[in-house]
C-alpha cells in the first residue's frame, strides 16, 4: 500500500476517516494521494464494521483545489506516456467512489475545484459550509472538466453543467445546493461537531438532517432560464449564436460577459468539453471515465494544456497563446481524435 502523509487515514468510531493533509498546496492531489485513497476506499468498502467513510480537509481554505497539474505539465508532452498514469489512477478512484456501497460523506469547507470535485461529487453525501466555492476551471488552462465531469455535469438542471464546464463559473454554497452538487448545507463552525457525531452514528442520515440548514437563495437560479436557452443547444456554434442574439436584444450584460469569458478560453477545450458532456449524458460513469481517459491521452500530446498552465499557474501573465486561436479554426478530425482509443489502449477499471 502506498505510504504518504499528504492524506491521513484513521478508523474513528463507525467511520473510516480520510483527511487531506496538503494544506499549503490547497490539498492539490498527487499521484501517491490518489493511490492511497483508492487502496483505503477498497479496504473499507469491504469491511462491514466500517459503516460510512468520511473525507475531509485539514485546511479551512480548501477542501481540494484540484489535481497537481503543475507537476504534470512540467514533464511536457515528451513524457505523456508516463504522466497519463496519474490520470488513470485518479479516474479509477473517481469510479470507485461512484461504485462504493459504503456511504461516502464529503465535508467540504472552502474551495472545491477540478480533482477535488472528483473525490466528492460522486459520493452519497456532499456537505458544504458557507465557504464552499465550486468550479471546474479546466478550459482556462487548455484542459477539460475531467474526474467524471462528463457524467455529473450534463445531469445538472438547466444546462448548468455546460455553462460551468465552458466558462468555469464559480458557485457558492446556495448555488451548489440548488443545483444538487451539495446534498446538505452546514455552518463551518459546526463541522467539528458534525464530524464527531457522524463517527459516533450508526447511520448518517439523521445526523445530517440534524445539522443541516437552509442554504438560502441561490444567485445562479436567477440566471437559470437564460443559461438553459443559451447552453442547452446542440453545438458550440449554437451557444455563441444564442449569446450573440441575446446581447443584441437585451440590456442584460450576461451575454456580453459570457462571450468575453469564452473568448479567453481554449477553443479546443471548449469544443472537446462540450462534446464530452453531450456524449457523457448518455453514458454510465465507467464509460465516461474511459472516454475521459481517451481525451486526456490526446490532450497530453498537444499544445494548449502546457501553454495554459504556463500562462495561468507558472508565469501568471494570463495571456495564453492557444492553437488554434479561434473556434472557426478548429479541425474536425483533430477534435474527434480526442474520443478515439489511445495507442496504449483504453482505461481498465
The closest of 141, 120, 199, 126 to 319, measured between CA atoms, is: 141
Query: What would the 3-class secondary structure string for the chain be?
Result: CCCCCCEEEEEECCEEEEEECCHHHCCCECHHHHHHHHHHHHHHHCCCCCCEEEEEECCCCEEECCECHHHHHHHCHHHHHHHHHHHHHHHHHHHHHHHCCCCEEEEECCEEECHHHHCCCCCCEEEECCCCEEECCHHHHCCCCCCCHHHHHHHCHHHHHHHHHHHCCCECHHHHHHHCCCCEECCHHHHHHHHHHHHHCCCHHHHHHHHCECCCCCHHHHHHHHHHHHHCCCCHHHHHHHHHHHHHHCCCCHHHHHHHHHHCCCHHHHHHHHHHHHHHCCCCHHHHHHHHHHHHHHHCCCCHHHHHHHHHHHCCCCCCCCCCCCHHHCCHHHHHHHHCCCCCCCCCC
Percent of the chain at pLDDT exceeding 90: 95
Residue whose grid cell is 436567477: 222
Q: Which residue has the cell 484513521?
A: 10
Report pLDDT for 251: 84
Q: Hey, CA dihedral for 164, 96, 124, 83, is it positive or negative?
A: negative
Residues 43-69, buried b or exposed e (16+ Cβ, 10 A)? ebbeeeebbbbbbbbebeebbbbbbbb
Q: How far apart are CA 122 and CA 153, in angstroms?
A: 11
What is the Cα–Cα distance from 316 to 70, expressed in whole angstroms? 12
Q: What is the pLDDT at residue 1?
A: 41
Note the pLDDT tens digit of each residue in 315-345. 999 999 999 999 999 999 999 999 999 999 9
Beta bridge partners of 125: 105
Give, in order, the Cα–Cα distances in Å from 274 to each of 47, 48, 201, 342.
40, 41, 42, 20
pTM tops 0.85? yes
Supply the mean pLDDT for the chain.
96
Residue 79 has pLDDT above 80, yes or no: yes
Which residues are marked as active site?
A: 67, 115, 138, 146
Encode 275-310: b = buried (16+ Cβ within 10 Å), e = exposed.
bbbeebeebebbebbbbbbbbbbbbbbbbbbbbbbb
Q: How far apart are CA 166 and CA 253, in angstroms?
A: 18
In whole angstroms, what is the distance from residue 280 CA to residue 285 CA?
A: 8
- Domains, the chain: 7-135+173-211 (3.90.226.10), 219-339 (no CATH)
pLDDT at residue 3 in the model: 65
- pLDDT band with cut points at 50, 70 and 90 for residue 2: low
Res 8 pLDDT > 60: yes
283-to-113, 151, 165, 205, 246 alpha-carbon distances in Å: 23, 7, 17, 29, 32
Which residues, in sequence order, are bridge partners of residue 104? 53
pLDDT in tens, 20-71: 999 999 999 999 999 999 999 999 999 999 999 999 999 989 999 999 888 8
Amino acid at each position: 500500500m502506498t505510504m504518504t502523509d499528504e492524506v491521513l487515514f484513521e478508523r474513528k468510531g463507525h467511520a473510516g476517516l480520510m483527511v487531506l493533509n496538503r494544506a499549503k498546496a490547497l490539498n492539490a492531489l498527487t499521484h501517491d494521494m490518489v493511490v492511497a485513497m483508492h487502496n483505503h476506499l477498497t479496504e473499507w468498502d469491504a469491511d462491514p464494521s466500517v459503516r460510512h467513510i468520511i473525507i475531509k480537509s485539514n485546511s479551512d481554505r480548501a477542501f481540494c483545489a484540484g489535481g497537481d497539474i503543475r507537476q504534470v505539465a512540467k514533464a511536457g508532452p515528451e513524457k505523456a506516456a508516463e504522466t497519463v498514469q496519474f490520470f488513470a489512477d485518479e479516474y479509477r478512484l473517481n469510479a470507485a467512489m461512484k461504485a462504493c456501497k459504503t456511504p461516502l460523506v464529503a465535508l467540504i469547507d472552502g474551495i472545491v475545484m477540478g480533482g477535488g470535485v472528483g473525490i466528492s461529487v460522486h459520493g452519497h453525501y456532499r456537505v458544504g459550509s458557507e465557504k464552499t466555492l465550486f468550479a471546474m476551471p479546466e478550459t482556462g488552462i487548455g484542459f477539460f472538466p475531467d474526474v467524471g465531469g462528463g457524467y455529473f455535469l450534463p445531469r445538472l438542471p438547466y444546462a448548468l453543467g455546460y455553462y460551468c464546464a465552458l466558462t468555469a463559473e464559480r458557485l457558492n454554497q446556495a448555488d451548489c445546493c440548488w443545483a444538487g452538487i451539495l446534498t446538505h448545507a452546514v455552518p463551518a463552525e459546526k463541522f467539528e461537531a458534525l464530524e464527531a457525531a457522524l463517527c459516533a452514528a450508526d447511520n448518517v442520515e439523521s445526523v445530517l438532517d440534524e445539522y443541516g440548514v437552509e442554504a438560502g437563495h441561490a444567485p445562479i437560479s436567477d440566471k437559470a432560464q437564460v443559461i438553459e436557452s443559451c447552453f442547452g443547444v446542440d453545438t458550440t456554434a449554437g451557444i455563441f449564436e444564442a449569446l450573440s442574439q441575446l446581447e443584441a436584444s437585451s440590456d442584460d450584460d450576461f451575454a456580453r460577459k459570457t462571450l468575453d469569458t469564452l473568448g479567453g478560453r481554449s477553443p479546443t477545450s471548449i469544443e472537446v468539453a462540450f462534446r464530452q458532456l453531450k456524449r457523457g449524458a448518455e453514458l454510465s460513469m465507467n464509460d465516461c471515465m474511459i472516454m475521459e481517459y481517451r481525451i486526456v491521452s490526446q490532450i497530453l500530446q498537444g499544445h494548449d494544456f502546457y501553454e495554459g498552465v504556463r500562462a495561468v499557474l507558472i508565469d501568471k501573465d494570463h495571456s495564453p497563446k492557444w492553437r488554434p486561436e479561434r473556434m472557426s479554426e478548429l479541425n474536425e478530425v483533430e477534435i474527434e481524435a480526442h474520443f478515439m482509443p489511445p495507442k496504449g489502449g483504453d482505461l481498465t477499471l
